[in-house]
Structure 1
């Protein structure tokens, strides 16, 4: 069973840095992800999904190859490639693996303008080593949703979210309290 983790950030750059670190962790076999998507909300309010794998482009390339191959059999490889690319692109668009796009758009609409979120579907991970490597992002995010156990979620929140100030106003840019 996979676990869903959604963490919001105030800017786009941090989300892309987190995804890059997660990819490095996957190459080192510390985490196994089914899907990782960055959701951004532009200042205009538009929500964009930045998928790790573009299924439409992959489908078009694959369809073009197979269409050209079949086209060779019927002495019309260009027509076969064009038809195959179109069919592959449609199949790629219709195929949705990983995290549901409608759910991701809902997450995006809940973000602040200019904000982002990293949405990860994790098959398995070595939690202590992953959290240690993600410590560079300490106090930079906000856990929006997880399907982790209460203990694991509390540990993740403690690492990513800023410490509460017990009702005191937050520090001002000048270093004093307002």
Structure 2
């Protein structure tokens, strides 16, 4: 099944982060399967900032450090192995981009005003009626920017999120 993209903006970042949390809870309840979910805000200079739930740099450093230490023990240099492995893993994590393209998110989010935020969601599978019910707390609070949903589902979502 092909993943579907949805980008929704809100007047404040608290609502965007609340939506991310609610969608993660729905995923835990098996109502949807997320491939990626990112909140984008703007920093003091107006530059888009991506808030991704998993730091690939940190995960890479941890994994690389573990493997480096293990290899270091084999060659009687565990500290050197740790340092080299962590550095290599961090670099690999930073260069790895899974899910939604970072440049695409920054380009779309460039239109945000100062205190606004945007949520990008990549959904693989969804129980649409139950998820729409779960999104009722966001009625009238946001604006749909882009989706790859079917026209019918996009219209339903737009009516809910953008309701007057």
Normalising by structure 2, we get a TM-score of 0.97
What residue in structure 2 maps to residue 87 of structure 1? 88
Measure, in 2, the Cα distance between the counterparts of 1:86 and 1:150: 46
Alignment of 1:20-35 (within 5 A): 20-35=21-36
Measure, in 2, the Cα distance between the counterparts of 1:43 and 1:137: 26
Alignment of 1:23-102 (within 5 A): 23-102=24-103
Measure, in 1, the Cα distance between the counterparts of 2:69 and 2:139: 51
* 1:69 CA displacement: 0.1
Q: How many residues align?
A: 163
What residue in structure 1 maps to residue 120 of structure 2? 119
Normalising by structure 1, we get a TM-score of 0.90
- Map Cα deviations across residues 52-86 of structure 1 (whole Å, 9 max, x no partner): 11100000000000000000000000000000000
- Map Cα deviations across residues 3-53 of structure 1 (whole Å, 9 max, x no partner): 000000011000000000000000000010000000112353121000011
* 1:112 CA displacement: 1.2
Measure, in 1, the Cα distance between the counterparts of 2:138 and 2:33: 20
Q: Which runs of 5+ in 1 are unaligned?
A: 164-178
**CA RMSD, Structure 1 to Structure 2 (Å):** 0.8
What residue in structure 2 maps to residue 2 of structure 1? 3
What residue in structure 1 maps to residue 110 of structure 2? 109
For residue 58 of structure 1, give the secondary structure of its aligned residue in structure 2: helix
Looking at CA atoms only, which structure, 1 or 2, has the larger radius of gyration?
1
Measure, in 2, the Cα distance between the counterparts of 1:42 and 1:76: 42
CA contact (8 A) 1:42 1:115 kept: no
